[in-house]
Amino acid sequence: MLNNKVEEILNAQINKEFYSAYLYIAMSAYFDEHGLKGFANWTKVQAKEEMEHGLTLFDYIIERDGNINLKPIEAPARDFHNPLQVFEMILSHEEYVTESIECVANMSENECDRATREFINKYISEQVEEESQVRDIIKMIKMFGEDTSVLYHIDKELGKRK
């Protein structure tokens, strides 16, 4: 049986994961429109991962005999201007998600729910990894972004993500 407060915060997290997927899909469309197929691929792969995160939370709530309470998903941002600005937006979004995951961890600890506290550990590690990858991409773009041939090279690299 899942504690009510923990159930509520896990449901809210599902919404954030699906919003993240929506945001990445919107970014992928933007990159695709601008011929940056590698950037489009990277963000689309990330969207799939976010959906997976949402579904894993969904399965966990069911497994703990909790209630699923799905809320509307907000429309994603559309103010995309260039690869650097989009990746800076990604970083600040992921930092927000990290804080949100930390709140799930704190809540499960406060409510003495060790199972959820342990379950959420993989999300904490995932956020560390995601933030680090995005920071690396931002550094690359900043370092070479003025040089379009290098941007083309970064695009090729991001196209390899599966």
- Tell me 154's DSSP state: H
The span from the CA of 99 to the CA of 71, in Å, is 20
- Regarding 11 and contact with ligand OFO (CB under 6 A), the answer is no
Does the footprint of ligand OFO cover residue 113 (CB under 6 A)?
no
- Please report how close the Cβ of residue 58 comes to ligand OFO at its closest, in angstroms: 13
- Alpha carbon 30 to its chain's center: 17
Residue 138 CB burial class (10 angstroms; 0-12, 13-18, ≥19): middle
The site map against ligand OFO for 54-93 (x = CB under 6 A) is: ----------------------------------------
Asked if 111 touches ligand OFO (CB under 6 A), the answer is no
Q: Which of 18, 27, 107, 130 binds ligand OFO (CB under 6 A)?
A: 130
Read off the DSSP letter of residue 2.
-
Question: With binding defined as CB under 6 A, does residue 97 bind ligand OFO?
Answer: yes
Is 14 one of the binding residues for ligand OFO (CB under 6 A)?
A: no
Instruction: Judge whether 60 and 79 are in contact, CB under 8 Å.
Output: no
Distance CA 62, CA 101 (A): 19
CA 71 to chain centre: 18
Task: Based on the shown chain and the rule CB under 6 A, indicate whether residue 155 belongs to the binding site for ligand OFO.
Answer: no
Tokens of 110: 């406060």
Name the residue nearer to ligand OFO (CB basis): 21 or 151.
21
* 43 contributes a contact to ligand OFO by CB under 6 A: no
Structure tokens at 56: 């894993």
126 counts as binding ligand OFO under rule CB under 6 A:
yes
Catalog residues that contact ligand OFO under the rule CB under 6 A. Answer: 17, 20, 50, 53, 94, 97, 126, 130
